Amino acid sequence: MKRERIDGTLIKHPPMRKYKVTEEKNTFFVKSSTLYVSAIKQISKKVEKLNATQAKNKVFIVKGMGKSIPKVLSIGVYFQLKNYRVEVFTGSVKVLDEFEKEDDDSILSKRTVSSVEVRIIL
């Protein structure tokens, strides 16, 4: 369905985050501007840290949406080749678009973006 055109300058808002303590340890968010090798290095470090803990179900999650989906998948493949079990989940997330105007209040509108979640099982 084609969406209606709204005037004003567009500000794209990220989807809502949970800010939980566990999220910090076992989740990595991939942006379209994230560098592939940089992501691999950061994730490997976090995976190592998670592996050292005594948690029961050790799963590391890499998330991405829209343009960054191929990057997330290639990260998944990288870890698959490193002999990790990798699961892929597809889904969609809701985001807000803000159309800002000079004098009047800005308008918010919803949009859905496809997303992917790669689970590296330790």
Partner 1 sequence: MSSKTEHKRRKLYKSRIIRTELQDPSFKDERLNVEEFLKSREFEVNQLQMAQLKSKKNSSTRCFQSLPRSMRRRTASHNIKRVPRRLRPRMIREMTSNNGSILSKKPKHSRGRELYKLKRLHRLLKLATVAKSKGKPLDLPTGIDLKEKLRIVRSHIAELQNAKDAEVQTYDNMHLKFIKLHQQSLNNKLGSMDNTAVNELAVFKPHALKYSNRQKKFKWLPTHVWHAKRAHMVKRWGFNIALQPSQKCYRATHRNYLHSHCIAWDTSYIGTIILHHSTSLTPLIHLVGQLTKNEAVKPKFLKNHKIWEGIIYHENNSIGQSQIIWQDLPNVKQCILRVHPSLYESFFKLLLKLSPKDVTVFDCRYSLASFQVTGPAALTALGAVMKTADNNENWKQLCSFRDNSMVPTGSSISFYINDPRYLNKPHKYHHNIREDELDLIIAIKEGKVFDSGSFEDLFTYQGRIKSYKNQPSLKDLDLRRNIIVNNDNVDNLGKTLPRNPDDPLVPIHLSKLENGYYQVIVPWYWNLPVWYKLMRFPEVRYGGLRQMHQLNLETNRPTYPFDYPFWYHGFLSSFIQGQEFQKKWELRPKGKRLNYSKLKIHNLPGELLGELGDPFVSDWRYLQVLQYALKVHKECVHLDPSSFDVSNWTTLGHRCLKQLQDVYECVRDVQRQDSEFENADEEKILPIPVKYKGEYQFDPTKIDKVSVVIRDEIPKLPVTLISVEIEGTGHIATNARLYQVPSHDWQSWLENNDQKPVRAKYLVGFITTGTINLATGKHTGIGCMSHEVNQLLNKEKHHHLLLRNVGEVTFRLVKFQDIPL
Residues that bind partner 1 (CB under 8 A): 13-14, 16-21, 24, 94, 96, 98, 101, 103-106, 108-110
Cβ closest to partner 1, residue 23 vs residue 87: 23
Nearest of 63, 23, 28 to residue 45 by alpha carbon: 28
Cβ closest to partner 1, residue 98 vs residue 117: 98
Could you tell me the smallest distance in angstroms from the CB atom of residue 119 to partner 1?
A: 22
Could you tell me the smallest distance in angstroms from the CB atom of residue 77 to partner 1?
A: 30
Nearest of 5, 52, 50 to residue 26 by alpha carbon: 50
Query: What one-letter code names the amino acid at 79?
Result: F
Could you tell me the smallest distance in angstroms from the CB atom of residue 83 to partner 1?
A: 26
Could you tell me the smallest distance in angstroms from the CB atom of residue 27 to partner 1?
A: 13
Cβ closest to partner 1, residue 32 vs residue 112: 112
How is 25-86 classified by DSSP, letter by letter?
HHEEEEPTTS-HHHHHHHHHHHHHHHHHS--SS-EEEEEEEGGGHHHHHHHHHHHHHTT-EE
